[in-house]
Structure 1
């Protein structure tokens, strides 16, 4: 039986690295992107362009209700991007990964996929509670029970730093692709981004650290 996977895909550094990883691991791969009212529609375009270039079947699901329930800096121009010590960043979206992975599981079952791949990470994760390994393992059990289906949620980046994520992309032969064609920036700038937002700073630090030791 062919192994099939669904990759939760935003078109960013992490999910694109996961997409390349999945393409190596599984016989068939499809990607799912969620439209939750994010400020930068370029994120959706970027994801679609990458999927098309890699010949990956791409699903886009409407999750606009999430923006209505949980206003945040990723969807609202009137909320500043702020990350204060001891507090969740304003970019955190309550329930996002819970809902994304749940809907990805529904899709996966319909297309006969057992694996759901996500780029969540507990090492460089900005304090988001829904990126923790314990959450993913808990949800994995819940989804299996809820649908009576043996899903496996794969998290290839869970224990990697951003530096190590760049290294993985390089090992997968995707370093230049990930660097030049992904969108991580909170200000909607592809590739190296604005250089000022928290996402760009984290990405750039990891990249610079990796380039210092890259052969």
Structure 2
């Protein structure tokens, strides 16, 4: 029987690749998505469609009540989403305090309940500068804790931790993935904005791979 794993699946480009990487690796995948009060749920709609198509068990969990405790992010609060590359100081406004620790903790609990021994999530090297909870030292410490937090040890696994978004897309292309089935833009309009950090990094990845992004842009 295939090894069970939980994949934290936002519906974005990175987690779409991670989800499919787990499938290609022969894992029995349980996908887990979170509504944490982000300004739009378009990514979650994309995630649901992909899981339905792949016949993967998928839970979307509403944890938006945590915004009573954590705030100050342009992704959740009434703050303008900045434009420009991720290296810009302004992009720090997109940090949601302690988000990945919260999401990973719940994913580990879910893993224990379904007898899975791994949780996949899509941290990568392009996020290291802005997001402390995507850095290798965070992943290592979180993994250490999750070995002892329950009777059953659970591994935290980030297959692209040391790779760039360009590398992630390269692997996805090799897998033959259709990236029109993923949504990256921080804005939830009909078309992607092409200006926010998420869009710019995505577009750069496609450019560096010599292909055109199938998503429509404003």
Q: Give the TM-score normalised by the residue count of structure 1.
A: 0.89
**2:151 corresponding residue in structure 1:** 148
**2:99 corresponding residue in structure 1:** 96
SS across alignment from 1:79: coil
Residues 183 and 189 of structure 1 are in contact (CA less than 8 Å); yes or no, is this contact kept in structure 2? no
SS across alignment from 2:80: coil
Deviation string 1:88-141 (CA, Å, 9 cap, x unpaired) is 611100110001011000000100100110001133445100000110110111
Query: How do 1:59-74 and structure 2 match up within 5 A?
Result: 59-71=59-71, 72-74=73-75
Residues 35 and 64 of structure 1 are in contact (CA less than 8 Å); yes or no, is this contact kept in structure 2? yes
Residues 1:5 and 2:8 aligned together: no
How many angstroms apart in 1 are the aligned matches of 2:209 and 2:40? 28
SS across alignment from 1:6: strand
4 and 63 in structure 1: CA distance in 2 versus 1, 3 angstrom threshold: same
**1:195 corresponding residue in structure 2:** 194
Residues 1:106 and 2:109 aligned together: yes
**1:130 corresponding residue in structure 2:** 133
How many angstroms apart in 2 are the aligned matches of 1:130 and 1:27? 25
**1:31 corresponding residue in structure 2:** 31
SS across alignment from 1:211: coil
Residues 5 and 26 of structure 1 are in contact (CA less than 8 Å); yes or no, is this contact kept in structure 2? no
Residues 116 and 151 of structure 1 are in contact (CA less than 8 Å); yes or no, is this contact kept in structure 2? yes
RMSD of aligned alpha carbons? 1.9
Residues 146 and 156 of structure 2 are in contact (CA less than 8 Å); yes or no, is this contact kept in structure 1? no
**1:22 corresponding residue in structure 2:** 22
**1:206 corresponding residue in structure 2:** 205
Number of residues of Structure 1 aligned to a counterpart in Structure 2: 207
154 and 24 in structure 1: CA distance in 2 versus 1, 3 angstrom threshold: same
Q: Give the TM-score normalised by the residue count of structure 2.
A: 0.88
Aligned-residue offset at 1:53? 1.1
Moved over 4 A (4+): 83-88
SS across alignment from 2:145: helix
How many angstroms apart in 1 are the aligned matches of 2:102 and 2:8? 11
